[in-house]
């Protein structure tokens, strides 16, 4: 597994336009319908947002890990980090928005030097659900992150963390050597301060995404299996498991192409298209803010540099009413959100 991002390796798939070009051609020229065609067949084109419920802010692409399938192409070599001044613009919006959920992501959001300040300030806005997507190993990465469980607890943050499998080899294969054991240690620390314990209000949810070119199965069954194994093997507790489909972009797209799984994967996604999932795709109630303050329909569109289709494209000119009157930008990667039970940052959507 490479220790560098696609960008640092100057890989073609680091470029948004190359990814989009790839997703426009090949199987989508003759064999498979484009996402737009599919939506039109369902009378769902153009896709329009509903009320804004989730504001997702990406604090930067820097990460202590370089996971094989990262859709952000994050890693230690990524220097894109949100500045304090952009955070201030975000705070203004957080205070005014009607959204009930604030979702901080990255990279490893904790690596942003202003992360703690931002969490402290944002938590004052009284948003109902305040999520931090923590990759777990960050807690073990350096002593300055050791107190994160207490810090999260102090601000009643809802922790959502990735865990591809309950076995070491599968987890390490996807996320890097040693990640499984560090994640287990971090989970234990979170459990110790009360996170994820039965009936605890300190929410700890896990995200499962398949460690290869296949789709996730039934979320409830996976949750049952994860709980059984993590309790039996490590006495680790968590609340919910979100099963997320890998979208064919960035490092996962690169992997699909290199392993010659791309065509089959796209056929699987299209075959599993579920019209019921279209109703709830996350871009309909979410807005994604990038490290440099631009607005996107979702984190995936952010990585494909597809800014929202609105005159207002930056957090500095934020106007919720105007922004909500837009068409969502779609492309073939969207099939990842509508396959089977559907997929979003909060797991299944049907």
Where does this chain bind other proteins (CB under 8 A)? 165-167, 170, 210-212, 214-218, 221-222, 225, 263-264, 267, 271
- In the complex with ligand SF4, the residue whose CB is nearer, 199 or 350, is 350
DSSP-derived pairing of the beta strands 286-289 and 241-243: unpaired
Instruction: Answer with the entry of other proteins, ligand SF4, none that 94 interacts with (C-beta below 5 to 8 A by kind).
Output: none
Asked if 34 and 211 count as a contact pair (C-beta separation under 8 A), the reply is no
Select the residue interacting with ligand SF4 from 118, 195, 300, 318 (CB under 6 A): 300
Which residues, 235 to 294, sit near ligand SF4 by CB under 6 A?
281-283
Q: Does position 206 bind ligand SF4 by CB under 6 A?
A: no
Q: Does position 67 bind ligand SF4 by CB under 6 A?
A: yes
Question: Cβ 69 to ligand SF4, closest distance in Å?
Answer: 7
- CA distances for 338 relative to 217, 276, 308, 319, 350, angstroms: 14, 8, 20, 29, 10
Instruction: Answer with the entry of other proteins, ligand SF4, none that 159 interacts with (C-beta below 5 to 8 A by kind).
Output: none
Phi, psi of 215 (to 5 degrees): -90, 155
Cα gap 94→125, rounded to integer Å: 7
Residue 11 CB contacts under 8 Å (≥ 6 apart), including other chains: 254
- In the complex with ligand SF4, the residue whose CB is nearer, 236 or 283, is 283
Q: Does position 139 bind ligand SF4 by CB under 6 A?
A: no
Which residues, 104 to 133, sit near ligand SF4 by CB under 6 A?
106-108
Q: Is 324 exposed, middle or buried (0-12, 13-18, 19+ CB in 10 A)?
A: middle
Question: Cβ 106 to ligand SF4, closest distance in Å?
Answer: 5
- In the complex with other proteins, the residue whose CB is nearer, 121 or 263, is 263
- In the complex with ligand SF4, the residue whose CB is nearer, 65 or 89, is 65
Instruction: Answer with the entry of ligand SF4, other proteins, none that 216 interacts with (C-beta below 5 to 8 A by kind).
Output: other proteins
Applying CB under 6 A, which part among 49-57, 82-90, 100-108, 115-123 lies near ligand SF4? 100-108
- In the complex with ligand SF4, the residue whose CB is nearer, 68 or 231, is 68
Q: Does position 166 bind ligand SF4 by CB under 6 A?
A: no
For ligand SF4, the binding residues (CB under 6 A) are 63, 65-67, 70, 72, 74, 106-108, 135, 175, 281-283, 297-298, 300-301, 328, 330, 333-334, 337
């Amino acid at each position: 597994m490479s220790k560098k991002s696609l960008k640092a390796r100057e890989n073609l798939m680091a470029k948004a336009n190359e990814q989009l070009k790839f997703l426009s051609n090949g199987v989508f020229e003759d064999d498979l319908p484009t996402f737009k065609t599919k939506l039109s067949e369902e009378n769902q084109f153009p896709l329009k947002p509903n009320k804004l419920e989730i504001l997702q802010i990406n604090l930067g692409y820097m990460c202590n890990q370089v996971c094989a399938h990262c859709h952000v192409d994050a890693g230690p070599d990524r220097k894109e980090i949100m500045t304090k001044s952009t955070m201030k613009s975000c705070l203004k919006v957080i205070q005014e928005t009607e959204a009930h959920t604030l979702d901080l992501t990255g990279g490893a959001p904790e690596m942003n030097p202003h992360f703690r300040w931002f969490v402290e300030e944002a938590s004052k806005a009284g948003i109902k659900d305040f999520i931090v997507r923590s990759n777990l190993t960050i807690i073990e990465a350096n002593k300055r992150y050791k107190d994160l469980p207490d810090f999260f607890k102090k601000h009643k943050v809802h922790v959502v963390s990735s865990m591809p499998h309950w076995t070491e080899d599968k987890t390490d294969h996807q996320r890097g050597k040693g990640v499984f054991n560090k994640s287990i240690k971090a989970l234990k620390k979170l459990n110790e301060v009360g996170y994820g314990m039965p009936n605890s209000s300190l929410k700890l949810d896990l995200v499962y995404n398949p460690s290869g070119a296949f789709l996730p199965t039934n979320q409830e069954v996976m949750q049952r299996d994860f709980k059984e194994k993590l309790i039996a093997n490590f006495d680790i507790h968590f609340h919910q498991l979100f099963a997320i489909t890998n979208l064919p972009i960035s490092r996962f797209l690169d992997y699909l192409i290199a392993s010659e799984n791309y065509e089959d994967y796209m056929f699987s996604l299209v075959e599993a298209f579920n019209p019921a999932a279209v109703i709830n795709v996350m871009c309909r109630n979410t807005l994604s803010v990038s490290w440099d303050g631009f607005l996107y329909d979702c984190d995936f569109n952010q990585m494909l540099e597809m800014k929202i289709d609105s005159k207002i494209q930056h957090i500095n000119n934020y106007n919720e009413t105007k922004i909500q009157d837009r068409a969502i930008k779609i492309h073939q990667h969207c099939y990842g959100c509508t396959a089977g039970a559907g997929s979003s940052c909060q797991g299944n959507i049907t």
